[in-house]
Amino acid sequence: MYDEGRIKNSKAFLKFENDMYDLKSIQKKILDFRNERDWAQFHDPKNLAEALSIEAGELLENFLWKTTDQSRNLSPEELKNVKEELADIFIFLTYLSEEYKIDLLKEAGNKIAHNAAKYPVEKSKGSSKKYTAL
């Protein structure tokens, strides 16, 4: 767990908190953090994909044995854990996309367009069916 009080009082946090929250600047901060520590040497695609999967598993752990209603009404501590795991996932996703020089915004836009063609609103609205069953 993070020491939230210590983090929020650090100079790095205060500087980050005052910066703009756009995708490119956050990705740059993530990569700068890694590169300042010379950790890129450990970040090959296989290890990054594994780390991404592990972090996703740690996110899932927060919902284990909960009902749907319970998963929507997390305690403050549980929500804090979910936020931390989502941040870890985002960080490893940034590392992996950097490895392959993938523009995440562009690819997300492409995927949305692809899914819109597979799942037209008039056929898929309110349905959980796969596109092949619409």
Per domain, the residue ranges of the chain are 21-102, 104-134
How many Å separate Cα 47 from the centre of its chain? Answer: 17
Tell me if the domain spanning 21-102 has CATH number 1.10.10.10. no
Digit-by-digit pLDDT tens for the chain (134 residues) are 555 555 555 555 545 555 557 888 999 999 999 999 999 999 999 999 999 999 999 999 999 999 999 999 999 999 999 999 999 999 999 999 999 999 998 999 999 999 999 999 999 999 999 988 99
Q: How far is CA 49 from CA 54, 96, 98, 101, in A?
A: 9, 7, 13, 15
